[in-house]
Amino acid sequence: MKNQCIICDFDGTITEKDGLYSFIELYAQDGWEDIEQLWIDGKISSKECLTEEFKLVKNLSESLVNNFVETLNIDKYFKDFYSEITAQNIDLYIVSDGIDYFINRILKRYNLEKINVISNHGEFKNGNFILTFPNDYSSCKNNAGTCKCKVLSDLRQQYNKIIYIGDGASDYCVCNKADVLYAKSSLKEFCKKNQIQFLPFCSFKDILMSFK
């Protein structure tokens, strides 16, 4: 077995803002807020939320979508962090309940295409997104599009130690299963409320320092 790996959320963790939420906010037709609230209230799953919200995203041009993706930037210390852990032979997995259409394009812009990405799949055709969920799991209690708990469980078979980095609601169910947890934003508050041990961070500069 290998010594350790890092699992990292994407939207709002690696990126400066939640690009998926921003996209829906900008381009979904009326009604998406109600769907979002149902998810926040725990009445529907993230998988259902994404599916229904993207049904309200219609008739967009590919250039408009790609121009939007160009506005999404990553944490300015993330590339330094990635270089450091790569030099230490620590594997990194981006595990996201977002969609690869956005993630892969952002990573390519920053020459980070070699990072392992596990996420929902989004295909853009005729002005609309078609979503599929290659990493869902029938036993996932939250019916997430990407079951982060299952991904972590699978990686346990390969690594002695798992470090997790996250920021939000999609990280709640998995955060107490890692050996080391870095948390910010609502994930930090969730951990405080539920007495889950974590290391706080504001940017990847904070995490980078602990690897040097």
* pLDDT tens per residue across span 134-178: 999 989 988 899 999 999 999 999 999 999 999 999 999 999 999
Q: Looking at the 3D structure of the chain, how many domains does it have? A: 1
Identify the band that residue 1 occupies on the pLDDT scale cut at 50, 70 and 90.
confident
The verdict on residue 102 lying in a domain is yes
Full DSSP string of 134-169 = TT--TT-TT--SS-HHHHHHHHTTTEEEEEEEE-SG
For residue 46, tell me if it sits in a domain. Answer: no
What is the model's pLDDT at position 141?
85
CA distance 57 to 46: 17
Whether residue 52 is contained in a domain is answered as: no
User: pTM of the predicted model, to two decimals?
Assistant: 0.95
d(CA 81, CA 26): 31
* Structural domain range at position 86: 2-16+74-123+130-210
Whether residue 68 is contained in a domain is answered as: no
pLDDT digits (tens, 9 = 90+) for 59-72: 999 999 999 999 99
